[in-house]
Structure 1
Amino acid sequence: MVDKLDIFKIKTNNIAPQKGRILIAEPFLTGNYFNRSVVLLVAHSEKGAVGFILNKKVDFPIHDVFPDFPECDADVYLGGPVSTDSVYYIHKLGERLPGSIHVLDDLYWGGDFEILKRDIKRGMINPQDIRFFLGYSGWDAGQLENELKEDSWLVTDVEPEAVMRDLSESSWVEFVKKAGARYSVWENFPENPLLN
């Protein structure tokens, strides 16, 4: 007998979590942060993983959150439930920000915060080349792997330009479509099937 909910099981396609890949939340994953989220992994090792939610945009600029930060039109997103009172960023500035960590192609994570603020103040940074996050998503050793065994996340590759686009909560569907026909049933599945 075939399990009717097999359509929601994530068939591992030998794509392991690693820096520069994304996690797509399965349709039933609950929680304010991770419900229908797309997470870019910026670090992954046997010690754990760090990532940022790409599709939970907030409606205020970074200088509203941190008044001493220079005005900047770059997008701000909820990065995850850890350290939500701190700001993190991914960017396409590369070595211009000392201490940046290479993630994927021309995408980097972090770097010298004071130099970033100075260059923004001087108008040397294109807002399209940086994205800010309030908080981050973190997993202890083995925690993400356990969530993958529970079919909570689909791991897939991502194009760098897709990461820096203007994303919203509805962008989850776009990433699901790119993951393949196997997951097409997810696209139209209601967030709460009990409300149908």
Structure 2
Amino acid sequence: MEAIQSLANHLLVAMPSLHDPFFSRSVTYICEHNEQGALGIVLSLPLEATYDELFKHLNIDTSSDQSDERLLLAGGPVDRERGFILHSPIGSWESSLTISDEIALSTSEDILQAIATQQGPEDVVIALGYAGWEEGQLEKEMEENSWLFAPADKEIIFKTRPEERWLKATKLLGIDWTQIADQEGHA
């Protein structure tokens, strides 16, 4: 079986044996993966704060009577004060990386202003922080059976509730999570 060269544009799905409080039963979208390491956004850990609260905190005018009660996500344990926006790759933003034909990552305030005034991409997830892996770290964790991976799924990323993403991702892999052993076996 040929090894995958890059896990960019893939979902990392935590194995049930992964008990880290941040990554337990998590789904992480991998934005970058190369010889220097990997960067991803955890998609399954909602915060108590809403998009509207973020806009207010940043003094971004919503210019709308409608409130945006979608919850921000805890995108990872690194740089937790910084915003990361996964979205459909439409528009031209100051700081944006197109990852695939369906997904881009932006970090600039101009896209937040567009989202606040309903001028931005329809498919959007806003997270604070990211998950980062040093050179070889993610590969080692995969060898230790901490993660499964699946191709990115736009439905899971943008349309599924955060608390339902792990179960939906395991189903995407054709796995009944109740049948996955929590411990390593010994022959």
The 2-side partners of 1:69 and 1:140 are apart by: 35
Cα–Cα, structure 1 residues 121 and 22, in superposed 2: closer, same or farther, change >3 Å?
A: closer
What is aligned with 2:81?
A: 85
What is aligned with 1:4?
A: none
Correspondences of 1:114-153 after superposition (within 5 Å): 114-125=109-120, 128-153=122-147
The 2-side partners of 1:174 and 1:121 are apart by: 29
User: Which ranges in structure 1 are unaligned for 5 or more consecutive residues?
Assistant: 1-11, 192-196
The answer to whether the Cα contact below 8 Å between 1:69 and 1:117 also exists between their aligned partners in 2 is no
Runs of 4+ in 1 over 3 A off after TM superposition: 12-17, 120-123, 187-191
Structure 1 or 2: more strand by fraction: 2
Cα–Cα, structure 1 residues 190 and 108, in superposed 2: closer, same or farther, change >3 Å?
A: same
The 1-side partners of 2:112 and 2:127 are apart by: 15
What is aligned with 2:25?
A: 36
The 1-side partners of 2:16 and 2:74 are apart by: 19
Structure 1 or 2: more helix by fraction: 1
What is aligned with 1:169?
A: 163
Q: What is the deviation of 1:139?
A: 0.1
RMSD: 2.7
The 1-side partners of 2:159 and 2:84 are apart by: 17
Residue 35 of structure 1 aligns with an amino acid whose one-letter code is S
| Length, aligned pairs only | 176
Q: Deviations over 1:96-155 (max 9, x none)?
A: 2243111222210015x23224323543125x4221101100000000010011000001
* Residue from 97, 102, 115 that aligns with 1:101: 97
Identity over aligned pairs, percent: 27
The answer to whether the Cα contact below 8 Å between 2:89 and 2:98 also exists between their aligned partners in 1 is no
What is aligned with 1:46?
A: 35
The 1-side partners of 2:81 and 2:115 are apart by: 21
Cα–Cα, structure 1 residues 23 and 120, in superposed 2: closer, same or farther, change >3 Å?
A: closer
* Residue from 28, 36, 53 that aligns with 1:64: 53
Secondary structure of the corresponding residue to residue 49 of structure 2: coil
The normalised TM-score by structure 1 is 0.77
Q: What is the deviation of 1:93?
A: 4.1
Q: Deviations over 1:143-186 (max 9, x none)?
A: 00100110000011122232111322233111111112xx32x2
Q: What is the deviation of 1:29?
A: 0.3
